[in-house]
Amino acid sequence: MNAIYDFSILTAWIHQWLSGLMEPTAVMITEMVIIGTILILFVAAMGLVLVLAERKVAAFFQLRLGPNRVGPWGILQTLADFLKLLTKELITTKSADKFLYNLAPFIVMITPFLALGVIPFAPGLQIMDLNIGVFFITAVSSMGVLGILIGGWASNNKYSLIGGMRSAAMVVSYELSVTLAIMTMVILTGTLSMSEIVNSQADGWWIIKGHIPALIAFIIYLIASTAETNRGPFDLAEAESELTAGFHTEYGGIKFAFFFLSEFVNMLIVSSIATVIFFGGWMPFHLPFEWATGFNHIMDFIPGIVWGFGKVTFIIFLMMWFRWTFPRLRIDQILNLEWKYLLPMNLINFLLMSLIALTGFYL
């Protein structure tokens, strides 16, 4: 691995520099503030970029040009939209439950921040390397639905309520598939730490090393996580043609923007998890064979951050492709898909993977 691309050198240098200036407690607090600021900026920037990307991708799928007026190729379009949403009046409907109504957007926004904390994007570019990272992420990511449910209920609008309920029913069932698909891979890695999972793929990604069960697990994860982020064919909670805007019908201005942004950041997170677990995170593309050493060396020259974000972009593109191709499912079909198809397949897959792990059949 090329050391020049390692971010831990940079972070260690900053730590040393700060330690020379102040005492350890102050250093910790300063570092936390820096990281917090970076995280907020990162989420905001990613939100803007992803919204623009979604609009552009959707446009190309639909034979359109997409935003192209604000700035070159419309790259400032989302910034302009964001400013517009920011300056809009915040409306609270009369019969809404004021406290919960205002709380809901923050709950959906907090979840992605928590989840982003343990994801390694590049060597050393990880806020906290928890030894139970995978467990933490699955625990945290299911919290977002609380915000949707609260928002749908507190709006005191029947459409919102139906949307919130649909979302709750969906996330409760799909959480199972997401976790089981991840667990299938954890059997192979034998660790819950995100960085160790990445390191275990230095000689090849799990999706290649893990044979067909890994591929099945990836497909199941992709479907289930699309459902969990309320996107694509599973956007029942919004269901524009049925429920106008679903759970955020009554939200406007920046509160709506929070819901909107959280959808995109959640998409980033589920793609990052998929990247880490199935595609080796920031690990370059390596083949686990003797004869491929030269090829592996060439791959090492591409920085880890490019690999990391490249794979994330690819999975996000896949999810956008789904969204702009497929019709929406009905609520009972969604639950059928989970309980009659994904869950049994997942359990069998789990068993197969255990066999593979026991026999050491993986590469």
Partner 1 sequence: MNSIIKYLKGISQGLNTLWSGMKVTGYYFFNARKEIITVQYPDNKDTLKIPERFRGRVIMVHDQNNEHACNGCTMCEMACPNGSIKVITDKVLDPNTGKSVRIIDQHVYYFSMCTLCNLCVQACPSDALAMDGSYENAVFNREELTFVLNLPGSKIRDNVKD
Partner 2 sequence: MQAELISKEGTQEYFVNMGPQHPSTHGVLRLLLTLDGEIIRKVEPHIGYVHRSIEKMAEFDTYKQIVHLTDRLDYLSAHMNNEAVALLVENALQIEVSDRVKVIRTIMNELTRLGSHQLWWGVIGMDMGAITTFLYAFRDRELINDIMEETTGARLTMNYNTPGGLMFDLHHNFQKQVKDYLKFFKTKLPEYDQLLSGNVIFTERTKGVGKLSLADAISYGVTGPSGRASGFSCDVRKTQPYSAYDRVKFNEILMVEGDSFARYQSRVNEMWESISIIEQLIDNIPEGPIMAPMKAVVKLPKGEFYQRVETARGEFGVYVVSDGNKTPYRVKFRSPGFSNLSVLDHISRGHKIADLVAIMSTLDLVIPDIDR
318 binds partner 2 (CB under 8 A): no
What's the closest the beta carbon of residue 230 comes to partner 2, in angstroms?
Answer: 12
Alpha-carbon span 236 to 314, nearest angstrom:
24
Residue found by looking up tokens 């950041």 in the block: 265
Cα dist from 137 to 44, 100, 195, whole Å = 20, 25, 13
62 binds partner 2 (CB under 8 A): yes
Beta carbons within 10 angstroms of residue 242's beta carbon: 15
Please report, as ranges, the residues that interact with partner 1 according to CB under 8 A.
Answer: 57, 60-65, 68, 321-322, 324-326, 341, 345
Alpha-carbon span 349 to 225, nearest angstrom:
17
330 makes contact, choosing from partner 1, partner 2, none, with CB < 5 to 8 Å by partner type, with partner 2
Of the CA atoms within 13 Å of residue 28, those in its CB half-sphere come to 2
Handedness of CA 322, 324, 327, 332 (dihedral sign): positive
Residue found by looking up tokens 């590049």 in the block: 122
What's the closest the beta carbon of residue 140 comes to partner 2, in angstroms?
Answer: 28
**Which residue among 162, 170, 208, 217 contacts partner 2 (CB under 8 A)?**
162
What's the closest the beta carbon of residue 347 comes to partner 2, in angstroms?
Answer: 23
Q: CB–CB of 256/209 below 8 Å?
A: no
243 binds partner 2 (CB under 8 A): yes
**By C-alpha distance, which of 131, 128, 122 is closest to 9?**
122
**Which residue among 73, 113, 135, 324 contacts partner 2 (CB under 8 A)?**
324
340 binds partner 2 (CB under 8 A): no
What's the closest the beta carbon of residue 331 comes to partner 2, in angstroms?
Answer: 6
Q: Which stretch binds partner 2 (CB under 8 A): 104-112, 132-140, 239-247, 348-356?
A: 239-247
**By C-alpha distance, which of 328, 350, 78 is closest to 226?**
328
328 makes contact, choosing from partner 2, partner 1, none, with CB < 5 to 8 Å by partner type, with partner 2
Backbone φ and ψ of 122, nearest 5°: -155, 165
Binding footprint of partner 2, residue count (CB under 8 A): 28
What's the closest the beta carbon of residue 346 comes to partner 2, in angstroms?
Answer: 19
**Which residue among 104, 329, 356, 357 contacts partner 2 (CB under 8 A)?**
329
Find all residues with CB under 8 Å of 304, minimum gap 6, and list them.
1, 5, 6, 122, 123, 282, 283, 284
Of the pair 248, 328, the CB lying nearest partner 1 is at: 328
Residues of this chain that bind partner 2 (CB under 8 A): 58, 61-64, 158-159, 162, 166, 233, 235-236, 239-244, 324-333
